[in-house]
Structure 1
Amino acid sequence: MIQPHQAKQPVSAAFAGPYGHPFHPMLVTIPIGAWVAGLVFDIASQFAADPRFLSEGAMWLIAIGVIGALGAAMAGFLDLFAIPGGTRAFRLALTHMTLNLLVIAAYLGNFLWRHSETVTGGVPAGPLALNVAAFLTLAVSGWLGGRLSFRYGVRVADEATQAEGFVSAGRTN
């Protein structure tokens, strides 16, 4: 059996984050937040009296998400190198990475599509549908990423280190 301890250590603490503090989970909040807000703007643009600012806002939120996702992907790629090859965790990480790269490509395409057209009303059905599809794929990939961390413990401190947090602090008078 391959020892899972290897997947807990960073390949490069400077770029992937030190032991117990990986950068990838922190960095994914940028694209996820931007893309959630972009989807909310897209939906709101269907109901607003003057939807142009929502349509434009969604386009730029998508761009912010793509830029943030590239940073998160770099840190995640380094975490991938820490996982022993040929394991369930490694196969799951490859699936997670592939889905995320598809999501980034879909959002990049969505941004370019929107940027090439002049929108005067709400977001057209095509870009809106692509946004929804990319977001649903992102949700599946996020679930897989959670499984990597919480089920397989990738880049999570080992149980001995975690136990330190559950030692009684005692009373000091």
Structure 2
Amino acid sequence: MRALLTRLEQAAVLDRAGDRLQRGVLAVLRPQRVRDVLHGVWLGHPLHPALVQLPVGAWVSAAILDLLPGQRRAATALVGVGTAAALPAALSGLNDWASLAREQRRVGMVHAIANGVGVLLYGGSLAARLAGLHAVGRTLGFAGLSAVSGGAFLGGHLAYKQASAVNHGIPELRQLSDGWYAVADLAALPERTLHTRRIDEVSVLVYRNGDQVSVLLDRCAHQGGPLGEGELVTVRGRDCVVCPWHGSTFQLGDGRVVHGPAANDQQVLPTRVVGGVLQTRLP
């Protein structure tokens, strides 16, 4: 299985179709507001893994009911609910997929294909049940559950092995020990300019606006891009930084994500000034 997954990650043959699909997704979901909603920016958490709970839960419950006598009506209702709920889950997943690295998109494509086959099988299962062909409906339902289970396995590989939709900045915190760290002389920090400093082996982004000074992890939460090389912008009256890699935008004052593809806030570190020296520590 390990060898098979490694070959899938390295399957460059998928890139031609993947690149076309990526361009299509980005073209259809062009408004930034739509993409932010589907990423889960408003929630502060990736939306796709939250949405998949409903179809998967409904389908697993339907499979259990299919093994019990006298539960045809309830099982049919659950298959219908799961199939309908799969559509927004798939849309949010495609939106996230379009912002991933190429080797992640390869696995993601097969993940999407497996789930797509599962949805088609469940659609057929629902049609068969409504037509009174419950034996056929059950068979198609179990086949659909097998397909989406394979897709879920690949989704777990994307998250846990390939670090898709996780906060890439957080591992930096594990390199810091407790205590305060000197960052810079406060008087030497120009205002409204992005600065990077290192504390131990961790790069941090320092931003000063008058008496307000913020220290954030420099690695972008989305894919680890260097925020210190990003663009300083103003969004709704607040100073923000735009990641140079994929355009994720964060408020510099509190790290809150403003625009995706990041759905997690950027980690902000506590600060204090002692003897004119800016210090920071672990949250």
1:82 match: secondary structure: coil
Aligned residues with identical type, % of pairs: 26
Partner of 2:144: 134
* Distance apart, 1:161 and its partner CA: 2.4
In 1: Cα distance, 2:125 partner to 2:138 partner: 9
1:69 match: secondary structure: helix
TM-score, length of structure 1 as denominator length: 0.75
More strand by percentage: 2
| Larger relative contact order, structure 1 or 2 (CA cutoff 8 Å, min sep 6) | 1
Partner of 1:105: 120
Q: What residue ranges of structure 2 are gaps of 5+ in the alignment?
A: 1-31, 180-283
Q: What residue ranges of structure 1 are gaps of 5+ in the alignment?
A: 1-10, 46-50
In 1: Cα distance, 2:90 partner to 2:50 partner: 12
Query: Any idea what the Cα deviations from partners look like across 1:68-110, whole Å, max 9, x if unmatched?
Result: 11110010010111113xx321111010111111111110111
* Distance apart, 1:163 and its partner CA: 4.9
In 1: Cα distance, 2:131 partner to 2:67 partner: 20
TM-score, length of structure 2 as denominator length: 0.47
In 1: Cα distance, 2:107 partner to 2:171 partner: 24
Partner of 2:200: none
Partner of 2:36: 13
- Does residue 75 of structure 2 align to residue 58 of structure 1? yes
Contact 1:20 1:157 in 2 (8 A): no
Contact 1:32 1:65 in 2 (8 A): yes
Query: Any idea what the Cα deviations from partners look like across 1:119-169, whole Å, max 9, x if unmatched?
Result: 7xxx42x222211111111111000001111111111110x3255589789
Alpha carbons of 1:168 and 1:129: their partners in 2 closer, same or farther (altered >3 Å)?
Answer: farther
Q: Which amino acid aligns with 2:38?
A: F
2:166 match: secondary structure: coil
More helix by percentage: 1
Alpha carbons of 1:36 and 1:166: their partners in 2 closer, same or farther (altered >3 Å)?
Answer: farther
- Does residue 108 of structure 2 align to residue 93 of structure 1? yes
Q: CA RMSD in A?
A: 2.4
